Structure 1
Amino acid sequence: MSKPTPETPEFVLPAAVEQVWLEPFAAWLSKERRYSAHTVRNYRHAFVDFFRWLSTSGVAEKPFDELTRREMRDFVIEAQGRFDRRTLHLHVSGLRSFFRFWITRGRMARNPFTGIPLPKLEKRLPQFLTEVQMRSLLLGPQRLLDNESIDAFTAWRDRVVLELLYGGGLRVSELCNLTYAAIEKRAGVARIVGKGGKERLCPLGSVAMAVLQRWESEFAPSISTDAPVVVTRRHTVMKPREVQLLLKRYLALADLPLDLTPHKIRHSYATHLLNAGADLRLVQELLGHANLATTQIYTHVSVARLKAVHRTAHPRS
């Protein structure tokens, strides 16, 4: 029989624990740190799963401040049987944030997860499209319009979606939240509020701006400053899930893997910039990464590409 998890009805977080400990932490993540709803939900799940483990291990009545490093090591060992390494790292990151939050508020003196070793993450290079594949993907809406498979509104809306994702390197949530007030047309840039409320300027590119101008002049239901740029046929704000489904249509049309997500277009954007000689710190700023190490993963992609070319082209490879 499987152990109860946060998603199953066998375990319910005690109301007192939820109200006194979890809700203030979740509110701080959302309102002050401005974390995405997805991240807040993951951190909530991490805490509920952790408290479930405390309950089944017989230490749920123990004050958080008295939890030992040995107990936290036991939790990590047990969790390795239920989560992959990346998920485990994310859960522990959320729990460390939980304890740091309450330490700063004087309700705890130490963080029991400090120094707890975690299994090493396997190095995974981000998936990305080649420039040829990207061009094929971007031509999709026009191809469907030409053979009358979609109407002009849908074709130009979809072109805007794809061109902004690739031209600006936007996260899908940033695209869905984009309003006309954020776009400086003369400069061809958008002011994007990303993770943690961090603002950055994103050049959108001449092609994206031309597509956007055609969309505005002929199809957009509203171009008032607070109006969303990408909308559904019902003129409502597009949701990330709707953008994902839209992308799958054009991936299939371009004969590309259907598991590629909108975030892979962002990976492609970064990789193509670096392949063309863009400065790493500039790419970091364009992506809105807080740490340079996050951006450096794309240099590995570029190096891997160069090595592949060398292997196929050099006589001594």
Structure 2
Amino acid sequence: MRYLPKETAKTTLEISTDSAEGLEPSIARFLNYLKVERRLSPHTQQSYSRHLAVLASQMPICGLVTWTQLDEAWVRQLAVKGKLAGLSAASLRQRFSALRSFFNYLLQREGMKVNPVKRLTLPRKARLLPKGIEVDEVQKLLNLEASDLLSVRDRALMELLYTAGLRLAEAVGLTIHCLNLESGDVRVVGKGGKMRQLPLGSVAIEWLQRWLQWRATLPRQGDALFVTAQGRPLSARAVQKRLAQWGRSQQLSSPLHPHRLRHGFATHLLGASGDLRAVQELLGHASLSSTQIYTHLNFQQLASVYDASHPRAQRRKPSLDRS
């Protein structure tokens, strides 16, 4: 049996120089396929690249120089080694999702006969419910003093995240041409390059108008809707930092990040309307199962109200007084 070398805790996005030359071109073509044909997000592309780097760096040490030499036993050994190295179930699933996609590509495009990952069974990923945000917390957050360029920008951005339920990448990717404030809608490019048109609330429209007035005063302007004080496109990391700061300054009960506003949008809208399909369309979910998680959130809220209010909801301890 070919034994795998010890897995390093850190890998780069580049394939190791020790990798066989025959392995690298297929990986490069696959990553280009993800970018050009499947149009996956840069984050997903980088994740796949990292996991393939681990595989390609270990194969030559085991005497494997072509992808066709891989078999199911070798891949299972890779899974066991990852688990022993402390990888979580979620990380293992992500790794072998990348490998499964890569080998499917090799089957379709490069003449590989068998996908060695096809029959591999991994532990199921625990589905964690997203941490939402209450309506009163949203009101508290957005009741902020906004009188300068950055605070007006942040208020407009947070209003947009909450009123349209945008992903962070979707928000920072917006251009001024995506907005139509007269008709009250925004065009968003979501996952897989899918376009969707979303309605805007009156408060969001008001703050976006204010922000555009401030934006027009900047010395350099591109097409990005949200920019820095220097006119450069606002990065996702900068948005995360700014929202975290606003969460602290507005004294929210738990840390604020952009996705909490998206969760709040979905939960509050679903709770008020009960229309799961409509919420699915607004969120840009390809599958209804992704949206159904918000029905669990609503049930949890109902259960907490029940536990706090119903006289027989809480099981009482039996009395020790038998006299």
Same-fold call, TM cutoff 0.5: yes
The percent of aligned pairs where both chains have the same amino acid is: 34
Work out which of the two has the higher radius of gyration on C-alpha atoms and give 1 or 2.
2
Which of the residues 29, 35, 41 maps onto 1:30? 35
Q: 1:121 aligns with which of 107, 116, 125?
A: 125
Q: Which amino acid aligns with 1:313?
A: S
CA distance in 2, matches of 1:294, 1:46: 25
Q: CA deviation at 1:73?
A: 1.8
Shift of 1:277: 2.3
Which residue matches 1:79? Answer: 82
> Are 1:301 and 2:306 matched, yes or no?
no
Of 101-110 and 303-312, deviating more is 101-110
On the 8 A contact 2:16/2:56 being kept in 1, the answer is no
Partner residue in 2 for 1:242: 238
The 5 A counterparts of 1:1-317 are 3-7=7-11, 12=17, 14=19, 16-17=21-22, 19-55=24-60, 58-61=62-65, 63-82=66-85, 83-140=87-144, 142=145, 145=146, 152-221=148-217, 227-256=223-252, 259-317=255-313
Is the alpha carbon distance of 1:188 and 1:18 closer, same or farther for their aligned partners in structure 2, counting shifts above 3 Å? farther
> Quick one: distance in 2 between partners of 1:18 and 1:201?
42
RMSD between aligned residues: 2.5
**TM score, norm. by length of structure 1:** 0.88
- 1:316: Cα distance to partner? 2.1
* Cα displacement string for residues 293-317 of structure 1 (whole angstroms, at most 9, x for unaligned residues): 1111111111111111111111221
User: After alignment, is 260-269 or 286-295 more displaced?
Assistant: 260-269
Report the alpha carbon displacement of residue 177 of structure 1 after superposing the two structures with TM: 1.2
Query: Residues 4 and 229 (structure 1 numbering): CA distance in 2 closer, same or farther, change over 3 Å?
Result: same
Give the direction of change, closer, same or farther, for the CA distance of 1:298–1:17 in structure 2 (3 Å limit).
farther
Give the residue type in structure 1 aligned to 2:273.
Answer: G
* Greater shift in the superposed pair: 229-238 or 278-287: 278-287
Task: Decide whether aligned partners of structure 1 residues 13 and 296 sit closer, same or farther in structure 2, where only a CA change above 3 A counts.
Answer: farther
In 2: Cα distance, 1:123 partner to 1:239 partner: 29
Instruction: List runs of 5+ in structure 2 lacking aligned partners.
Output: 314-323
